Chains A and B, each alone.
Chain A
Amino acid sequence: MSANDVSPSLIRRVDATGVPLALARLVIGGYFIYTGIIKLEDPVLFLKQIKQYEMLPLDPAYFLNGTAVILPWLELICGSALVLGVFVRGAGAMIALMLAVFTPAIFLRALAIHNTEHTPFMQIAFDCGCGTGEIIIWKKLLLNFLCFLVALVPVFSNSRRWCLAGRSRSAPAEPVPTSVAEPTS
């Protein structure tokens, strides 16, 4: 028996309850289901929004159009996976990865607007294509950062309580029945 098993840290004990994971799954999963559906409602609008970031080449068009087609579904699938408790680690990592790409892109676009239009950064607002409509960008950046942190919970949590698939690692030791624990002679 290792030292960690004897006295698990507070984080591990809290994680073992399954509550942080369940909350993270519901919050992030629900949020990404919502944003995915919003984007799916109007693919053309989403295409125009991601074009504004100038991150993807216009020629060939497959990259930009493919992203506009696939990304909303990826968000919906990852959100659903989190809520259901399937592929929890991968879904959390995928969402964290998407946020790690989107957030700097939003920041850079806001910075470009700040530099060209001389709008105070804290007052910059635009529709970032995130499914939230026009939003004050510093609030969006903060929201994305918080979402990124919450999305990491399913990646690092060892609990699989209330999940449809997977089983917990380092689950709290079940009380061993005396009759089983006693060696038979």
Chain B
Amino acid sequence: MKIIKQTGCELLALAVIGLVVGLSANSLRAQGSLELGKDYFYIPPTEKLPEPDHTNGTDKVEPGTSNPKQPEGGGEPVSEKPKYPYQTIDYAGVVAVLKDPDTQTGLNVFVDARNDHAYEAGHIPGAVQCDPYNVPQYWDNVEPRVMGALKVVVYCGGGDCEDSAYMCRELVNQGVPMEAIYLYEGGWNEWDAKHGPVETGRPDAAEETP
């Protein structure tokens, strides 16, 4: 009985020490700390999608892109609920954006939502990196590029990776118009498999240095 009591007391003491040290270290951590109350995995419901843009008098969908509420071909509305409340873009669409002259002038932007290591190992040429779990750390570099951009193409690893969707959410929260955001679901896996052009290193940071 004494052993059980001793074990219980020590368990409790260790749990309290772990709690105090863990929370303190998280609040003191300069990089990589987590906001305890933030739902990092929240994706807005698809009902909040912006209405298709009718201002130019057309409902034309650009090649390679789609709006979940406005299926290509203008047929019957899709019965399957889209996974994300953002416009999606496929490989051909991304290639088209990459070749678009607006991309060279910085009006179209690629946002890489993967981690530092993956980004430096290879990314879509011209892409700027932003970690959706730690936006403030990257935002100073990302903000001047995405604010006012015509198209912001966001991607992550592809497959089961949902970081690009979280990045889209963060961009909307920061004030980037939802109409400008395109989610490339195929992500890096597809881009790499289809041998899309690749840039390595960290040119997004290098551009900042005079």
Assuming the contacts A70-B19, A70-B23, A73-B25, asked whether A90 and B32 have C-beta atoms less than 8 A apart, the reply is no
> What chain A residues lie within 8 Å of B21 (beta carbons)?
73, 77
Flag whether A183 is at the interface (Cβ < 8 A): no
The answer to whether A65 touches B40 (Cβ under 8 A) is yes
Q: How far is the CB of B188 from chain A (nearest CB, A)?
A: 16
Q: Which residue of A lies closest to B6 (CB)?
A: A89
How many angstroms between the C-alpha atoms of A62 and B7 in the bound complex? 28
Q: Which residues of A are found within 8 Å of B70, using beta-carbon distances?
A: none
Contact yes or no, B41 A51, CB < 8 A: yes
A21 to chain B, nearest CB (A): 14
Pair B9/A90 contact, Cβ less than 8 Å: yes
Chain B: minimal CB distance from A43 (Å): 5
Given the complex, which residues of A lie within 8 Å of B9, measured CB to CB?
90
Q: Total A-B pairs in contact (CB under 8 Å)?
A: 89
Q: A87-B13, A93-B10 are in contact. Are A61 and B133 (CB under 8 A)?
A: no
B138 CB to closest chain A CB (Å) equals 13
Q: Within 8 Å CB of B200, what residues of A? A: none
Residues in chain A near residue B36, CB distance under 8 A: 61-62, 65-66, 69
Q: B18's closest neighbor in chain A, by CB?
A: A74
The answer to whether the Cβ of B193 comes within 8 Å of any Cβ in the partner chain is no
Report the minimum CB–CB distance from B139 to chain A (whole Å). Answer: 16
CB-contacts of B25-67 with A (<8 A): 25-26, 32-42
A27: chain B residues within 8 A (beta carbon): none
What's the least CB distance linking A68 to chain B, in Å? Answer: 6
- Of chain B, the residue at the smallest CB distance from A166 is B6
Please, how many residues of chain A have a CB less than 8 angstroms from a CB on the other chain? 31
- A158 closest partner in B (C-beta): B3
Within 8 A of B (CB), among A35-57: 42-45, 47, 51
A74 proximity list for chain B (CB < 8 A): 14-15, 18, 22
B134 contacts the other chain (Cβ, under 8 Å)? Answer: yes
Flag whether A171 is at the interface (Cβ < 8 A): no
B-chain residues with CB within 8 Å of residue A73 when the two chains form the complex: 18, 21-22, 25
CB–CB A58/B32 < 8 A: no
Choose from B7, B23, B40 the contact partner of A93 (Cβ within 8 Å): B7
Least CB separation from B12: chain A residue: A90
Inter-subunit contact B34/A47 (CB<8 Å): yes
Do B34 and A93 touch (CB < 8 A)? Answer: no
Partner of B14, one of A51, A61, A81: A81
Q: What's the Cα separation between A71 and B21 when bound, in Å?
A: 11
Chain B proximity mask over A75-101: 1 for CB below 8 Å, otherwise 0:
001100100000101110110010000
* Given contacts A61-B38, A62-B37, A65-B35, A87 and B23 within 8 Å (CB-CB): no
In the complex, the answer to whether A77 meets B14 with C-beta atoms within 8 Å is yes
CA distance A59 to B7 in the complex (A): 33
Contact residues of A with B, CB < 8 Å?
A: 42-45, 47, 51, 58-62, 65-66, 68-74, 77-78, 81, 87, 89-91, 93-94, 97, 155
In the assembled complex, 18 residue pairs joining A and B whose CB atoms fall closer than 8 Å, in A order, are: A47-B40, A47-B133, A58-B39, A59-B39, A62-B36, A65-B37, A73-B22, A74-B15, A78-B14, A81-B14, A87-B10, A89-B6, A90-B8, A90-B10, A90-B13, A90-B14, A93-B10, A97-B11
Interface residues of B (CB under 8 A from A): 3, 6-15, 17-19, 21-23, 25-26, 32-42, 115, 131, 133-134
User: Other CB < 8 Å A-B pairs besides A71-B22, A81-B14, A90-B6, 11 of them?
Assistant: A42-B32, A43-B26, A59-B39, A68-B34, A70-B22, A73-B22, A77-B14, A77-B21, A87-B14, A91-B14, A94-B15
